[in-house]
A and B are shown apart, each in its own frame.
Chain A
Amino acid sequence: MSDPQNSPENPLGRDPHVLLRVISKFLIPLIALFAFYVQFHGDYGPGGGFQAGVILAASVILYALVFGLTEAKRAFPPRLIRYGMTLGVLLYGGTGVVNFILGGEFLNYSNLAHDASHGQHYGILAVELGVLVTVTTVMIAIFYAFGSRQPETSDEDW
Chain B
Amino acid sequence: MSLIFAAAEPAFVPPLILLDICLLALLVVVAFSIVRMRSLFGIVMLQGVYSLVSAAWFVTLDAVDVAFTEAAVGAGVSTVLMLSAMLLADRKSTPVPMRRQFGALAVVILAGAAMLYAVGDMPAFGDVNSPANTYVGMDFMAKTAEEIKIPNVVTAVLASYRGYDTFGEVVVIFSAGLGVLLLLGLNGNAGRWIARPNGQMLNDHSAPSAALSEDGRTPEQIAEGAS
Interface residues on B, range: 35 or more
How many whole Å from B158's CB to the nearest CB in chain A?
6
Instruction: Establish whether residues B65 and A145, one from each chain, have CB atoms under 8 Å apart when the complex forms.
Output: no
Residue of A nearest to B151 (CB): A44
User: How distant is the Cα of A6 from the Cα of B225 in the complex, in angstroms?
Assistant: 43
Kindly list chain B residues whose C-beta atoms are within 8 Å of the C-beta of A158: 41
Residue of A nearest to B85 (CB): A146
Instruction: Establish whether residues A93 and B167, one from each chain, have CB atoms under 8 Å apart when the complex forms.
Output: yes
Residue of A nearest to B177 (CB): A138
B27 within 8 A of A: no
User: How distant is the Cα of A158 from the Cα of B83 in the complex, in angstroms?
Assistant: 11
How many whole Å from A67's CB to the nearest CB in chain B?
14
Which of A9-17, A22-30, A121-129 touches B? A121-129
User: Chain A interface (Cβ within 8 Å of chain B)?
Assistant: 38, 42-48, 50-51, 54-55, 57-58, 61-62, 65, 78, 81-82, 85-86, 88-89, 92-93, 96, 107-109, 116-117, 120-121, 123-124, 127-128, 130-131, 134-135, 137-139, 141-150, 153, 157-158
**27 interchain pairs (CB within 8 A)?**
A42-B152, A43-B151, A44-B151, A46-B152, A47-B68, A50-B169, A51-B65, A54-B68, A81-B177, A88-B174, A89-B170, A92-B170, A109-B160, A117-B149, A121-B148, A123-B159, A124-B160, A134-B177, A138-B174, A139-B77, A141-B180, A145-B188, A146-B84, A146-B85, A146-B88, A149-B190, A150-B87
